[in-house]
Structure 1
Amino acid sequence: MSILESGKKIVETLTGWQRPSGCDMDSLIRARKANTFRFKDDGAIPNHPHWPLVVYRGAVKLPVDVDPAAILEDLFERNGWGSSWRNGIFDYVDYHSRIHEVLGIARGSAKVQFVGKRGRTIAVKAGDVAILPAGTGHQCLHASNDFLVVGAYPPDGTYDECTGEEEHARTVETIPKAVKPRKDPVYGPNGPLAGIWKASR
């Protein structure tokens, strides 16, 4: 997280400045179709054997008078996805083998390659949200200068960072054990995620 974003987050947390109120949050959420993308193990990046990447396009309204990162942080926290951070997406492939991850685009746009070197490139922009099941490789190929992401994690699981073949044998065992989240990070307990991941198992 940049020094500027770290400072903003501290000030906002202490004062409430530029943070959305609880009653405003529902009006900032748009009903959106869940776009799903399935990826196979490519020999280096395992991806998830059963559950797809889920992308909601333009799911969150980001009004100019509120910090967009604060909106995403509060939304994810409300739905049980915490330990949030503000930053970009690494320019090398990484994934998590013991926990799922949500990425909300707060500002700007980028092209992100999912899976690994033989993966799929998806363009993302402010207001989009991607939910990555454990094992999903991701790498930023290009981003606008103002690109900012808020990431968060469900309460069950352990954060780890994996980058390639050396972890492959171990992570193919741990990835399927990552617990399914109780709530969709955008739409809550009745959101599409539970049905999509359940049906895919």
Structure 2
Amino acid sequence: MTTQQYQFTDDGTIPNSVFPMIVYEKAFGVSENLADEMERVFAGNNWKNAWRNGVYDYHHFHSIAHEVLGIYSGSAQLQIGGEGGKSLTVEAGDVLVLPAGTGHKKISASDDFGVVGAYPGGSDYDIRTGKESERETVLQNIAKVPFPGNDPVQGSNNGIINFWK
């Protein structure tokens, strides 16, 4: 597994975060039951309220929760951090850990692209798009999101526990 960190600043529309986004490349080996395996590992590290789908094709972020995205099939080109952010290619076995406020959208994807998403402690989430009328509320929400007790992949001793100090 290779770990990458990407830092994105507030661009006036997408707030992003003081914490870096983490990418675990090849965190999981590709298997027939990869989605189940990812959900099990995430839940075992207290990242719950899981869902399976894809990534929206417009810039969005979550102001009340951090999010983990596990790619269980296919591949995609994602834009992270808003218009001025970074374009990343992700594929089955990769995991992204997005701190609250981090913008993300799908640019393109294979037909079989599939994602497992989850949230620390099974928290609820919202979907925000950077509307100016919501900005004050969004910034207040992000400031209140609690620090996760565990990394969704590595548990209590590594990962965001070290990267998000």
TM range (shorter): over 0.9
Q: Does 1:53 align with 2:21?
A: yes
Q: Deviations over 1:82-107 (max 9, x none)?
A: 01000000001111111100000000
User: Counterpart of 2:12?
Assistant: 43
- Distance in 1, matches of 2:23 and 2:115, equals 14
Q: Does 1:86 align with 2:55?
A: no
Deviation at 1:75, TM superposition (A): 0.9
Q: Deviations over 1:88-135 (max 9, x none)?
A: 000011111111000000000000001112221011000000000000
Q: SS state of the match for residue 143, structure 2?
A: helix
Q: Higher helix share goes to which structure?
A: 1
Pairwise mapping of residues 3-82 of structure 1 onto structure 2 (< 5 A)? 32-48=1-17, 50-64=18-32, 67-82=33-48
Q: Which moved further from structure 2: 114-123 or 137-146?
A: 114-123
Unmatched runs of 5 consecutive residues or more in structure 1: 1-31
- Distance in 1, matches of 2:98 and 2:147, equals 12
Pairwise mapping of residues 90-105 of structure 1 onto structure 2 (< 5 A)? 90-105=56-71
Cα-Cα RMSD:
1.2
- Distance in 1, matches of 2:143 and 2:162, equals 17
Native 8 Å contact 1:154 1:181 kept in 2: yes
Identity of aligned residues (%): 45
Deviation at 1:174, TM superposition (A): 1.7
Deviation at 1:62, TM superposition (A): 2.5
- Distance in 2, matches of 1:106 and 1:158, equals 22
Deviation at 1:34, TM superposition (A): 2.5
1:129 to 79, 89, 95: 95
Deviation at 1:169, TM superposition (A): 2.2
Q: Residue type matched to 2:7 in 1?
A: R
Q: Residue 107 and residue 59 in structure 1: after superposition, are their counterparts in 2 closer, same or farther (change >3 A)?
A: same
Unmatched runs of 5 consecutive residues or more in structure 2: none
Q: SS state of the match for residue 164, structure 2?
A: helix
- Distance in 1, matches of 2:130 and 2:42, equals 28
Deviation at 1:189, TM superposition (A): 0.7
Q: TM-score, normalised by structure 2?
A: 0.95
Q: Which moved further from structure 2: 148-157 or 82-91?
A: 148-157
Structure scoring higher RCO (CA < 8 A, sep ≥ 6) equals 2
User: Counterpart of 2:126?
Assistant: 160
Aligned residues: 164
Deviation at 1:168, TM superposition (A): 1.8
Structure of greater Rg: 1
Q: Does 1:173 align with 2:106?
A: no
Native 8 Å contact 1:156 1:179 kept in 2: no
Native 8 Å contact 1:112 1:122 kept in 2: yes
Q: Residue type matched to 2:23 in 1?
A: V
Q: SS state of the match for residue 150, structure 1?
A: strand
Structure 1 segments (4+ residues) deviating >3 Å: none
